[in-house]
């Protein structure tokens, strides 16, 4: 597989918000391919950078990329268990936590992972292929029509969810739906062509919904934000980059609840978005929103 070049989104903004923490402990809770982490190590110079990821394969990619930096601690795990993972390493508090919630190009480019409708592969979509036994194949081929509708409607915000769920159930009575191409083609043929979205593939929202369900991403995010605010010391910051409205809504509402509980203050009254220049250079940044909370 040819490796895609990973460009971290909103990098300059992230560096600006982390710059006060030179010589302290910073957690990259979604290290991915290590783009943000490498820039933090070079430009912010923390005493220690904790590189966390739930995917053992991508954590290995980050380990290779950051192998020249001695002040990195790699941890396999989900940020929903952040405090216990840090405590196992003897770390009780940190100065900042960064979460980039986007799916990595590493996942999208590998057909075997089953994340992309642009590359044919098995219906998998698991970020953690060791601990998580639920695959997209199981959801598509065994969940009830009602549950499929709920997943596609709620997590994909797809107006054609009912029709898509029915089409999936009807198709699988003839034969199991095994590949990303089969599912993408089925979804595309289900939505009337005149209603296809202009800028995205017609299966985008359905794939997003199933991926979220497979990885329990929204539950993990809620837990992760609460874990992060507990381990960040006074004066520290929580920085989150989200890529769709469901994630951004969770971040926005939890930040407001943290502020109401007097944990600290929201530094970004409106989310920071990418400049037109960055979007031109990296189209993935188009939907990115950055929000920052500072603990007191």
Residue 6 is assigned to a structural domain of this protein: no
DSSP category for residue 267:
S
**Which among 215, 250, 283 is the end of a domain?**
215
Tokens for 194? Answer: 């005149």
Number of domain units in the chain: 2
C-alpha to C-alpha distance for 238 and 145, rounded to whole angstroms? 39
Q: What is the pLDDT of residue 257?
A: 98
Q: Is the pLDDT of residue 151 over 60?
A: yes
Residue 201 is assigned to a structural domain of this protein: yes
Q: 194 or 284: whose pLDDT is higher?
A: 194
Q: Mean pLDDT, the chain, as a whole number? A: 95
Percent of the chain whose predicted confidence (pLDDT) is above 70: 98
Claim to verify: residue 209 and residue 71 sit in the same structural domain = no
H or E segment to which residue 74 belongs: strand 72-76
- Here the CATH number for the domain that contains residue 94 is 3.40.50.150
Q: What is the pLDDT of residue 6?
A: 67
Note the pTM of the prediction, 2 decimals.
0.94
Residues 7-47: tens digit of each pLDDT:
899 999 999 999 999 999 999 999 999 999 999 999 999 99
Q: 3 or 267: whose pLDDT is higher?
A: 267
C-alpha to C-alpha distance for 76 and 58, rounded to whole angstroms? 10
Per-position DSSP letters for 151-203, written without gaps between them: HHHHHH--TTHHHHHHHHHHHHHHS---BHHHHHHHHHHHS-GGGS-SSS-TT
The CA-based angle 65-66-68, given to 5 degrees, is: 115
The CA-based angle 44-55-133, given to 5 degrees, is: 155
Q: What is the pLDDT of residue 104?
A: 83
Residue 2 is assigned to a structural domain of this protein: no
In this structure, what is the dihedral angle of CA atoms 154, 253, 249, 102, given to the nearest 10 degrees? -110
Claim to verify: residue 119 and residue 99 sit in the same structural domain = no
Residues 107-120: tens digit of each pLDDT:
888 999 999 988 89
Residue 125: which domain range? 109-215
Q: What is the pLDDT of residue 158?
A: 97
No. of helices (H) and no. of strands (E), the chain: 13, 8
C-alpha to C-alpha distance for 170 and 179, rounded to whole angstroms? 16
Tokens for 87? Answer: 């405590």
Claim to verify: residue 37 and residue 167 sit in the same structural domain = no
Claim to verify: residue 35 and residue 164 sit in the same structural domain = no
Q: How confident is the model at residue 1 (pLDDT cuts 50, 70, 90)?
A: very low
Q: What is the pLDDT of residue 5?
A: 52
Per-position DSSP letters for 74-90, written without gaps between them: EEES-GGGHHHHHHHTT
């Amino acid at each position: 597989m040819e490796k895609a070049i990973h460009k971290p989104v909103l990098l300059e903004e992230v560096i600006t918000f982390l710059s006060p923490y030179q010589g302290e402990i910073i957690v990259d809770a979604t290290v991915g391919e290590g783009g943000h982490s490498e820039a933090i190590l070079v430009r912010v110079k923390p005493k220690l950078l904790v590189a966390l990821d739930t995917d053992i394969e991508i954590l290995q990619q980050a380990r290779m990329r950051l192998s020249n930096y001695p002040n990195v601690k790699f941890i396999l795990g989900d940020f929903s268990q952040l405090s216990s993972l840090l405590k196992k390493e003897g770390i009780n508090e940190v100065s900042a936590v960064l979460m980039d919630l986007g799916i990595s190009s590493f996942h999208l480019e590998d057909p075997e992972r089953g994340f992309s409708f642009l590359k044919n592969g098995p219906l998998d979509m698991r970020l953690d292929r060791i601990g998580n036994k639920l695959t997209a194949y199981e959801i598509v081929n065994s969940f009830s029509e009602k549950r499929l509708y709920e997943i596609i409607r709620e997590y994909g915000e797809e107006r054609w969810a009912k029709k898509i769920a029915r089409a999936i159930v009807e198709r699988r009575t003839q034969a199991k739906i095994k590949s990303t191409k089969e599912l993408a083609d089925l979804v595309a043929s289900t939505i009337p062509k005149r209603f296809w979205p202009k800028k995205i593939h017609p299966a985008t929202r359905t794939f997003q919904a199933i991926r979220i369900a497979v990885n329990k991403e929204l539950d993990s995010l809620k837990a992760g934000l609460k874990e992060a605010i507990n381990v960040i010391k006074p004066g520290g910051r929580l920085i989150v980059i989200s890529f769709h409205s469901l994630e951004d809504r969770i971040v926005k509402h939890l930040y407001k609840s943290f502020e109401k509980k007097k944990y600290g203050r929201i530094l970004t009254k409106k989310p920071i978005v990418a400049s037109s220049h960055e979007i031109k250079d990296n189209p993935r940044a188009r939907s990115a929103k950055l929000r920052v909370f500072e603990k007191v």
